[in-house]
Structure 1
Amino acid sequence: MTKHLVVGAGPVGLAVAEHLRERDEDVVVVTRHVKHALPEGVEHRRVDVSDPTVAAEAFADADVVYQCAQPPYDAWPDLFPDLTRGIVEGVEAADARLVVAENLYMYGEVDARLTEDLPYAATGPKGRTRAKCARMVLDAHDEGRIEATIGRASDFFGPRVRESAVGEQVFGAAVAGKRAMVFGNPKYPHTYIYVPDFARALVLLGERDDALGEAWHVPNPETVSTRRFVDFVYDAAGADPGFPHIVAASGLVLTLGSYVSSPLKELSEQRYSFEAPYIVDDSKFRDAFGDAVTPTPLETAIEATVEWYREQGAAADPIRLGTDADHPTEATQQ
């Protein structure tokens, strides 16, 4: 039986572990801290894999390693490269295969649909850090040190996704009967992805030899405007149709807010993705793998996320960016 090792227990890491356990696979989750409520049957190892020696020991029995971890959002430039290096060297020592979950920061601001052949043109520190880490993984593959593939996705939503552009401040607000706060101009189309779909795509990439050595935009549901997305959320939550759903934080509000709010300051680098169309092209994945991973219909995914929020209750701070935030998208914590 294949041994799967998932680094990180944020929403993406846990969704990967859940999907693998649904297939009755042997799964280990690795984190720096003790984690509760892991999927049934999942083993936990508490180690810091930014140390290559420790990573090599932790990965020794692994066949596939899924990198779904990240440092705190405000410490990416300082900590992310070492984390990536430790994982790459640990995978190399274990002779395992590496699957990396990434966002789209490395591309920077673009005027067209986002495709995998775009240059890494980010100018902000987080985008440059993501580019550096992606190059580290793909260079290791090209040098023959490891087998690796990368799955990339835009802003996340779904179970456990609270610290996201459409997390607590949209889904949590809808369930609580409050107005949603969104960033930028909600009239523009923006691709959002359902975390369980991302997890299924990552597992597929890890299984396919023809996925190796490349980055792939995982299949997305229908891209709609942020306003339309929020309307779907409030419809699923049973909101009064006449209730004003959105408060938009854009332009001057975000600029001034960044001076007094650390979370807003951290988000300011990615403002561009909410102030113009932000559409992810997933045709490369679909052309290569067909319907092996079919995205959950958007409204169905939103209904499931609303139900999860109802069951879990509200979080204390909708825009806190801690160790499980990624974009203001999710996502992956160690």
Structure 2
Amino acid sequence: MAETGGYHVVLGATGGAGCALVAELARQGRRVRAVGRRATDPWPKGVEAVTADILRADEVRKTCRDAAVVYHAANVPYAQWPQVLPAMTESVIAAASAADAVLVVVDNLYMYGPSSGPMTEDSPRRASGPKGQLRARLEETLLAAHTRGRVGVAIGRGSDFYGLHANSAATMLVIEPALRGKTASWLGSLDAPHTLTYLPDFARGLVTLGTNARAWGEVWHIPSGPPVTGRTFIAEVFGALGQPPRMRRLGRGMMTLAGLFNRQIREAREVLYQFERPFVMDTSKFERTFGGAVTPLREGVRQTIAALQSTQ
């Protein structure tokens, strides 16, 4: 279907990508319905807030009524992925289909596995671990739903996020410690180039996918800034705070030890390769089709720091 005057429904609106989506949609003057499992801070004026359990198919279907575009930004902790994500994906497909809405899916880069060069949308799916293999199967499910005419689907992928509400290594290991006056940490190598995606840029790209029929039925890498090293990112964060950088590297040994006491860290070891060697996302397909302006790293970091400080 072509976009009409229906709602832009954001599932998982209280997460990092979801919050950024709601803010961007409101900024563009769209009719927005923000759906989450819990109450949150006041949304922008005019946003309809709905509390619902995204794990319940009947509640998802109800929240997607009158939708023009459904943005699937909901997620669960790593340990729940195998049991929860396949069923969640099926219920979101069914809900968007019932509403005759376009489905835009927030995705990551896990399905590619270790790569010897920049990753494109056509890169082989070579994930060796269960998380990456699951993401590849979900991609197949979503694109099959599009091919069969159940629902129009566009998949938008980003790399590690930073920005307000980002639940990421960049936030937990760098920005939050820096704000507390502590030493920042970086996984793997401090000097391997790594693509970071600023959440407001990501949200803007997702809205482009939902409102352009040329995007439907395909996977898209959302424009992000040039890859940077952990060392550079940490320096920018401390620079925004007017402090000299303090940093350390977390290797496999330390991750293994920490994983004995923290299941989320233990689960994250599967994707540690992303930080041990260059991890670069090619976004030229999106840029050729829709353009690709992004927020410079220094400005994105400044905005993130300012937003976090305003909430303290």
Q: Normalised by the shorter chain, which TM-score bucket?
A: over 0.9
Work out the CA distance in 2 between the residues paired with 1:167 and 1:132: 28
Is the CA contact (8 Å cut-off) linking 2:16 and 2:165 kept in structure 1? Answer: yes
Offset, 1:39: 2.6
The one-character-per-residue Cα deviations of 1:223-279 (angstroms, maximum 9, x if unpaired) are: 111111111111111003xx5x11111122122322232232021011100000001
Structure 2 length normalisation: TM-score? 0.94
Please say if 1:203 is aligned against 2:207: yes
Letter in 1 for 2:91: G
Quote the residue 1:305 is aligned against.
304
For structure 1, which segment, 271-280 or 163-172, has the greater mean C-alpha deviation from structure 2 after superposition?
163-172
Q: Highest relative contact order (Cα 8 Å, sep 6+), 1 or 2?
A: 1
Retained in 2: the 8 A contact 1:99–1:149?
A: yes
* Pair 101,307 (structure 1): closer, same or farther in 2 beyond 3 Å: same
Match of 1:48 among 50, 53, 56: 53
Cα deviation, residue 40, structure 1: 2.6
Give 2:11's aligned residue: 7
Equivalent residue for 1:122, pick from 122, 127, 140: 127
Cα distance between partner residues in 2 of 1:53 and 1:228: 46
Give the residue type in structure 1 aligned to 2:179: V
Which of 161, 167, 174 is equivalent to 2:171? Answer: 167
Which residue matches 1:280?
281
Q: State the shift of 1:308 in Å.
A: 1.8
Contact 2:164 2:307 (C-alpha < 8 Å) held by counterparts: yes
Residue in 2 that maps onto 1:253: 254
Matched, 1:31 2:36: yes
* Gap runs ≥5 in structure 1: 314-334
Q: Does 1:110 align with 2:115?
A: yes
User: What does residue range 124-273 of structure 1 map to in structure 2 within 5 Å?
Assistant: 124-161=129-166, 163-240=167-244, 243=245, 245-273=246-274
Contact 1:171 1:309 in 2 (8 A): no
Aligned length: 307
In 1, distance between residues paired with 2:37 and 2:131? Answer: 22
- Comparing 39-48 with 87-96, greater Cα deviation is found at 39-48
3-state DSSP of counterpart to 2:67: coil
**3-state secondary structure, aligned to 1:189:** coil
Please state how far the C-alpha of 1:47 moved relative to its aligned partner: 2.3
> In 2, distance between residues paired with 1:169 and 1:308?
18
> Please, which moves more after superposition, 95-104 or 23-32?
23-32
Contact (CA 8 Å) 1:50, 1:84: kept in 2 or not?
A: no
1:90 equivalent in structure 2 = 95
Q: Distance in 1 between matches of 2:224 and 2:288?
A: 14
C-alpha contact 2:194 2:279 (8 A) present in aligned 1: yes
2:77–2:264 CA contact under 8 A, matched in 1: no
Task: State the 1:311 CA deviation.
Answer: 2.1
- Retained in 2: the 8 A contact 1:14–1:39? no
Letter in 2 for 1:250: G
1 CA distance for matches of 2:70 and 2:113?
Answer: 28
Deviation at 1:37, TM superposition (A): 2.7
For 1:286 and 1:246, the matched residues in 2 are separated by 34
Question: Do 1:105 and 1:126's aligned partners in 2 also have CA atoms closer than 8 Å?
Answer: yes
Cα shift at 1:52: 3.4
Q: Distance in 1 between matches of 2:218 and 2:290?
A: 14
**1:163-195: CA deviation from partner (whole Å, max 9, x where unpaired):** 311103211222222110111111100000100
**Residue by residue, what CA displacement relative to the aligned partner does 1:99-139 show, whole Å, maximum 9, x if unpaired?**
01111111111111111101222122211221122211111
Q: Give the TM-score of the pair, scaled to structure 1.
A: 0.88
Deviation at residue 53 of structure 1 after TM alignment: 3.5
Share of identical aligned residues, percent? 37
Partners in 1 of 2:180 and 2:37 — Cα distance?
Answer: 33
SS of 1:215's equivalent in the other structure is strand
SS of match in other structure, 1:166: helix
